[in-house]
Structure 1
């Protein structure tokens, strides 16, 4: 079942108060800080929305945010968001874990900058890429957006940091959704069939 913006608001406003893994911030604080960093960097509305929602899978996964889900959370939210948001939001979300694997290979010293929790989760996520894997990753559409999202993700872990309210970033996210072309009857039927498959 697809999420609505009210559902996303509810998830982040309620389950978002859970601690973000082993970090010193909550899921909501992390999401807002990540979106704020993207906004301050002058990113598009789609990338800001991806920054806000990149870890929504943690809040949707059965059992909540556990280390065992660190290798899957980037995929969990996608079926719930597809149809609501464009690929320019969904693809950076899907690729943000792989972007960490990429940076660990291609940027000397990157691994040492990661928090201990992020270093530990990297093992569950498949470890650093080989050079050919990293090069293949970089050729994918939205890989560069995912790499920038990854950097915001890495820095969005500051206890007590002031950010704009959730409503501000949900407004930006809604503006991206409004840019979607209207669904035609065939598209709706195809989407329903895909959900049943």
Structure 2
């Protein structure tokens, strides 16, 4: 389905189709598939009693790997695929900023956390360290200050932690279809 034909009535089916067709693909050297990763991130958000908007953001935070014009393996090949921007750009027509902005900021949140917390950096998986380097490395002081000015930076930090923790092989989660009612509630009128 072309992006131009997306609308409020078919966006959730479009996203579900991506999970069905592409979600089983590898997640850049991690021990889980892309769909397992996103579903685990959403489950962690739910476990933390996050608002529905942040659960939705956690579920969809890496959808830009599949909506971008850059090849999926770009990060592994040393090129940034800007998946956070690509995903947010597709979703912003359908979901509020409380969903799309944490998605847009989740890569910046990793860069921020690496700049302000060495323990955080030390816990990153090798694949995440590689993508960090491709995405600009830890923020400098000016970038840290600017990040803290963003309205949704705290939500992005929470999403980032769930993103990092959602990489455990064999974890049982709900399915994408289980989240359809939540996603419908989050759609813009």
TM-score, length of structure 2 as denominator length: 0.89
Q: 3-state DSSP class of the match of 1:94? A: helix
Q: Are 2:167 and 1:157 aligned? A: yes
Rate the CA distance shift 1:71–1:128 in 2: closer, same or farther, 3 A.
farther
* Map 1:9-28 → 2, pairs under 5 A: 9-28=16-35
1:59-109: CA deviations, max 9, x gaps? 122464211554511011223212210100000000000000000011231
State the SS of the aligned residue for 2:144.
helix
Instruction: Give ranges in structure 1 of 5+ residues lacking alignment.
Output: 183-197
CA RMSD of aligned residues (A): 1.5
Aligned mates of 2:112, 2:89 — CA distance in 1: 25
- State yes or no: 1:53 paired with 2:63: no
- Number of the residue aligned with 1:137: 147
Q: Is the 8 A contact 2:111 2:132 kept in 1?
A: yes
Structure 2: distance between partners of 1:78 and 1:63: 15
**Following the alignment from structure 1 to structure 2, what is the Cα–Cα distance between the partners of residues 57 and 7?**
13
Contact 1:30 1:157 in 2 (8 A): yes
Q: Does 1:167 align with 2:177?
A: yes
CA contact (8 A) 2:18 2:66 kept: yes
Deviates more, 1:75-84 or 1:33-42: 75-84
Residue deviations 1:38-66 (CA, integer Å, cap 9, x gap): 00000010000000000001112246421
CA distance in 2, matches of 1:76, 1:113: 27
1:157-183 CA distance string (max 9 Å, x none)? 001100112112232122111xx3x4x
Aligned pairs, number: 179
Equivalent position SS for 1:77:
helix
Q: Which runs of 5+ in 2 are unaligned?
A: none
The CA distance in 1 between the partners of 2:113 and 2:19, in whole Å, is: 28
Report SS of the residue matched to 1:159: coil
Larger Rg: 1
- Quick one: structure 1 residues 8 and 22, their matched pair in 2 at CA, closer, same or farther if it must change by over 3 Å? same
Distance 2:144 2:180 in 1: 32
Divergent runs of 4+, >3 A: 68-71
